[in-house]
């Protein structure tokens, strides 16, 4: 039996965070009273006309440009016809034959190996409503607030070979969407969703095997788990001489397995046709170029720049750019005190832990970048030790105070005051006459003992360098 390799292609749906829906003025607000954000247009009443939301087009084009797609200057909205209770129009407005953009690419890296995943197309469409099934009674409800919210669908080439690559690709797309500030990217709330297509083929074979399409994964982790399960399931079928059936399967997160939802025979025939209520979407070269010029720095470019300009490790660049707010926090701190590696260390250990515990993003941190810079600085200057810094960090973070003011007020500052230190050294020597004698007769190892006693007397806050100097002088 030849070795089998997996082939994976992903379809990602991202909700665009416009204020209003794709073809009407209804709000896109999430978590509101059901059926309050509805109007005749998004509920498909007869005799109404859709009007395209320009902001949604702008967001979609930005994403297309960010992943190096060719933006089509003419694209066409089509009706995708099917019946479902959460689809009052009886069709979804999508793009079929002429999508907004095509032929893009995204760079990913897994275990140090870089790879490019091709993007087949990006098109715009409107979202469906939500069916809510009562857990207690035999009844279902429909909430149409989501109906008509703008989406982009990003279809990848079948370029991925492992669940890890699929997760890396998803995270890369997710990061770009958040950097562009065009999607909330919350998988649990469903504003960033992924369907995963997977098949197996003998390694070295060109033709693809029969694929299944996996749905219902609401986290990166679950996409990986669903794919790993499905690869195992298909491998067992093939090894037993059976056929993989082309079908849609649902991931069951509780059991960690995929279950058949519908086969190819039940697949829809959507009868796509151009929507007669909408004119083709025509974009001027100039407008698209303007959006391209105004694209912000994207995650990959920022990672490269952090490595180059700040001399950070690949891992640190990865962590600090994973979230735009964290990256901006870092740069603000470095502007306040030019010690990028120390600042990166404080952030990746202490700050991230506190942010995670508090469940907040770096831009909501009570402890500001300037505070963190100050902390790095006073450790450098010897006002406190690294250990003391770590010890007081949770309190500094929670109170959002200037570390220098805090350690001075609380008496955590190292004692560098010569008078106070000399007094402590004198006391220690007076309290331990036998050791002083022994030291003077050659037992030089006792130096450590004296330093220890002085540190103890000062609650660990004596400046060790000064203590050593005093002891050296007095024990001559
Ligand atoms: P559909 O729209 O019916 O789901 P598409 O041809 O648009 O079908 O493909 C959807 C996704 O499936 C794409 O991401 C594509 O890369 C992927 N794909 C297509 N064929 C295969 C295959 N044999 N194995 C794995 N993925 C595939
Ligand atoms: Mg599909
Ligand atoms: Zn509406």
Each residue's pLDDT tens digit, 310-357: 999 999 999 999 999 999 999 999 999 999 999 999 999 999 999 999
Backbone phi, psi, residue 107, to 5°: -85, 135
For residue 208 and ligand 1, the question of a CB distance below 6 A is answered with yes
For residue 211 and ligand 1, the question of a CB distance below 6 A is answered with yes
Closest ligand 1 atom number to CA of residue 198: 25
> Which ligand neighbours the alpha carbon of 198 most closely?
1
Closest Cα to atom 14, ligand 1: which residue?
9
Low-confidence ranges of the chain (pLDDT < 50): none
* CB-based contact 145:35 (threshold 8 Å): yes
Cα–Cα distance for residue pair 431/424, rounded to 1 Å: 11
The per-residue pLDDT for range 394-439, each reduced to its tens digit, is 999 999 999 999 988 887 767 667 777 888 899 999 999 999 999 9
> Which ligand neighbours the alpha carbon of 35 most closely?
3
Backbone phi, psi, residue 79, to 5°: -95, 130
Ligand 2 centroid–CA 343 distance in Å is 45
pLDDT at position 415 is 67
Ligand 2 centroid–CA 270 distance in Å is 13
Helix/strand number for the chain, H first, E second? 16, 16
Cα–Cα distance for residue pair 235/244, rounded to 1 Å: 9
> Which ligand neighbours the alpha carbon of 205 most closely?
1
For residue 9 and ligand 1, the question of a CB distance below 6 A is answered with yes
For residue 15 and ligand 1, the question of a CB distance below 6 A is answered with no
| CA 65 distance to own-chain centroid | 20
Q: Is 75 left (phi over 0), alpha (psi -120 to 50) or beta?
A: beta
Cα–Cα distance for residue pair 351/345, rounded to 1 Å: 9
Report the 10 Å Cβ neighbour count for 304. 13
> What SS3 state is found at 307?
helix
> Which ligand neighbours the alpha carbon of 264 most closely?
1
- Dihedral angle over CA of 387, 392, 394, 398, nearest 10: -150
For residue 196 and ligand 1, the question of a CB distance below 6 A is answered with no
Ligand 3 centroid–CA 125 distance in Å is 15
Q: Which residues are paired to 156 by β-bridges?
A: 119
Which tokens belong to 263?
Answer: 């086969």
Ligand 1 mutation pick, 123, 158, 214, 244, max ligand atoms within 8 A of CB: 158
Closest ligand 1 atom number to CA of residue 199: 24
> What's the whole-model pTM score?
0.86
Cα angle value 437/442/445 (rounded, 5°): 95
Cα–Cα distance for residue pair 396/406, rounded to 1 Å: 8
Ligand 3 centroid–CA 219 distance in Å is 29
168, 61, 178: which is closest to 117 by C-alpha? Answer: 168
> Which ligand neighbours the alpha carbon of 267 most closely?
1
Closest ligand 1 atom number to CA of residue 197: 26
Q: Is 249 left (phi over 0), alpha (psi -120 to 50) or beta?
A: beta
Cα–Cα distance for residue pair 177/125, rounded to 1 Å: 17
Ligand 1 centroid–CA 299 distance in Å is 27
Domains in the chain, CATH or no CATH each: 4-289 (no CATH), 297-410 (no CATH), 418-474 (1.10.10.410)
For residue 369 and ligand 1, the question of a CB distance below 6 A is answered with no
80, 69, 60: which is closest to 15 by C-alpha? Answer: 60
Q: Which residues are paired to 304 by β-bridges?
A: none
Closest ligand 1 atom number to CA of residue 208: 23
For residue 99 and ligand 1, the question of a CB distance below 6 A is answered with no
Cα–Cα distance for residue pair 383/459, rounded to 1 Å: 14
Ligand 1 centroid–CA 334 distance in Å is 45
Closest Cα to atom 25, ligand 1: which residue?
198
CA distances from 312 to 112, 303, 450 (A): 16, 10, 40
* CB-based contact 30:208 (threshold 8 Å): no
Ligand 1 mutation pick, 162, 197, 211, max ligand atoms within 8 A of CB: 197
pLDDT at position 209 is 95
Ligand 2 centroid–CA 50 distance in Å is 26
- Helix-strand-coil split of the chain, %, nearest 5: 40, 20, 35
For residue 198 and ligand 1, the question of a CB distance below 6 A is answered with yes
Report the 10 Å Cβ neighbour count for 301. 13
- Dihedral angle over CA of 315, 320, 321, 322, nearest 10: 80
Give the number of residues written for the chain. 476
The single-letter DSSP state of residue 145 is T
End-to-end CA distance of the chain: 82
Which tokens belong to 159?
Answer: 């370029």
For residue 7 and ligand 1, the question of a CB distance below 6 A is answered with yes
For residue 157 and ligand 1, the question of a CB distance below 6 A is answered with yes
Q: Are strands 212-217 and 247-252 parallel, antiparallel or unpaired?
A: parallel
Q: Are strands 101-110 and 70-71 parallel, antiparallel or unpaired?
A: antiparallel
The DSSP secondary structure of 347-412, one letter per residue, reads IIIIIHHHHHHHT--GGG-SS-HHHHHHHHHHHHTTSS-HHHHHHHHHHHHHHT--HHHHHHHTT-
* CB-based contact 107:114 (threshold 8 Å): yes
pLDDT at position 476 is 81
């Amino acid at each position: 039996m030849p070795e089998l390799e997996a082939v994976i292609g992903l379809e990602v749906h991202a909700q665009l965070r416009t204020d209003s829906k794709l073809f009407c003025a209804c709000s896109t607000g999430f978590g509101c009273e059901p059926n309050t954000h509805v109007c005749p247009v998004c509920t498909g009443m007869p005799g109404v006309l859709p009007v395209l939301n320009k902001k949604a087009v702008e967001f979609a084009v930005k994403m297309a440009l960010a992943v190096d797609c060719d933006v089509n200057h003419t694209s066409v909205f089509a009706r995708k016809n099917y019946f479902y209770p959460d689809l009052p129009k009886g069709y979804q407005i999508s793009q079929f034959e002429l999508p907004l953009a095509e032929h893009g690419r995204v760079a990913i890296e897994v275990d140090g190996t870089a790879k490019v995943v091709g993007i087949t197309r990006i098109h715009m469409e409107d979202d469906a409503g939500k069916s809510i099934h009562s857990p207690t009674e035999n009844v279902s409800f429909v909430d149409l607030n989501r109906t008509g919210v703008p989406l982009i669908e990003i279809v990848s080439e079948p370029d991925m070979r492992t669940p890890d690559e699929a997760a890396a690709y998803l995270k890369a797309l997710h990061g770009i969407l958040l950097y562009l500030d065009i999607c909330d990217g919350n998988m649990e709330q469903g504003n960033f969703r992924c369907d995963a297509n997977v098949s197996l083929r003998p390694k070295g074979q060109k033709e693809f095997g029969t694929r299944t399409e996996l749905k219902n994964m609401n986290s990166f982790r679950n996409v990986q788990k669903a794919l790993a399960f499905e690869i195992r399931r298909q491998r067992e079928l093939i090894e037993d001489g059976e056929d993989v059936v082309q079908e849609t399967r649902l991931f069951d997160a509780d059991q960690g397995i995929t279950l058949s939802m519908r086969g190819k025979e039940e697949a829809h025939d959507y009868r796509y046709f151009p929507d007669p209520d909408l004119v083709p979407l025509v974009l001027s070269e100039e407008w698209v170029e303007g959006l391209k010029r105004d694209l912000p720095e994207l995650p990959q470019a920022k990672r490269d720049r952090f490595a180059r300009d700040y001399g950070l490790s690949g891992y640190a660049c990865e962590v600090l750019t994973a979230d735009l707010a964290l990256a901006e926090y870092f740069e603000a701190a470095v502007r306040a005190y030019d010690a990028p590696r120390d600042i990166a260390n404080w952030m990746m250990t202490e700050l991230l832990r506190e942010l995670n515990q508090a469940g907040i993003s770096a831009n909501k941190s009570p402890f500001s970048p300037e505070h963190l810079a100050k902390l790095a600085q006073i450790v450098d200057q010897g006002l406190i030790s690294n250990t003391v810094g770590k010890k007081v960090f949770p309190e500094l973070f929670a109170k959002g105070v200037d570390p220098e003011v805090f350690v001075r007020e609380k008496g955590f500052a190292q004692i560098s005051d010569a008078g106070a230190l000399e007094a402590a050294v004198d006391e220690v020597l007076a309290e331990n006459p036998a050791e002083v004698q022994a030291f003077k007769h050659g037992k030089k190892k006792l130096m450590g003992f004296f330093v220890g006693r002085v540190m103890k007397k000062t609650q660990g806050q004596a400046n060790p360098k000064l203590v050593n100097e005093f002891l050296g002088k007095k024990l001559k």
